[in-house]
Amino acid sequence: MNVVRQTMETYDKIASHYCKKTRQPKFLEWEETYIQRLLSYIPQSDPVILDVGCGDGRHCVLIEKNGGKALGIDLSRGMLKEAQTYYPQGDFQHMDMCNLLFNDNTFDGIWSSGSIYHVPKSEVRKVIKEFKRVLKPTGVVAVNFKRGEGEGLEENPASYGGSPRYFAYYTRKEMISLFSKEGFDVVESCTYPEEIFGDTIQQMWFTLKEHKACPRPFNGCQEV
């Protein structure tokens, strides 16, 4: 079976229990901090943000709480059902991040949390190319990933045991190289506190090379 399809079938089955686990206040506090950082790089008021792999929609809630307009996509219909229940007024669509069904230059920012590492490494450049295509020239991408090496289907992943899912692991240098090849510069990065998810999660912010983002003052992530 295709590992992405198997991963989505797992999420369809575990969506309700998984979302209750990830919506804990200790998770939301850190995630809101990083969403605020994304918005701080965007000069436009009321920026339109694409939430790639939106899951239960909690990040769309946080984006809109902090002054953005969110549109969430996910490949798991089970997760989208959770999102529509959790945030009924949200805008959610079933979509593959490798083939974004949006016009060029549509979004002021992209938030991709807990999603890019479910794409096989052979396909990940397609995702980054799509990010670039739908992003405005002054747009910003915020992405996180599991640090490490290798890829494969895991029967008992640390983030939610007993639920087989595919994961790809990256070094910080590897992810910077992938985005650089598609015309992006990293502007900031930091590591999630390990106790939050039980894995080493790296958070990074990218802008297009021709655009030098100037964030508003912010008391958050400091590591570069």
Domain contains 107: yes
Domain count, the chain: 1
CA distance readout (Å), 179 to 56, 98, 173 = 27, 15, 10
Q: Please state, rounded to an integer, the average pLDDT across all residues of the chain.
A: 89
Residue 216, in any domain of the structure: no
Encode pLDDT of 16-62 as tens digits. 888 887 787 777 888 899 999 999 999 889 999 999 999 999 999 99
In a domain, 83, yes or no: yes
Mean local confidence (pLDDT), 102-119: 97
Whether 158 is in a domain gets the answer: yes
Q: Is residue 223 part of a domain?
A: no
Q: Is residue 222 part of a domain?
A: no
Domain interval for residue 167: 3-208
Q: What is the CATH number of the domain that holds 113?
A: 3.40.50.150
pLDDT, greater one: 94 or 210? 94
Q: Are 113 and 97 contacting, i.e. CB atoms less than 8 angstroms apart? A: no
Report if residue 214 sits inside a domain.
Answer: no
* 59: in domain: yes
pLDDT bracket for residue 224 (50, 70, 90)? very low
Could you tell me if 4 and 166 are in contact, meaning their C-beta atoms sit under 8 angstroms apart? Answer: yes
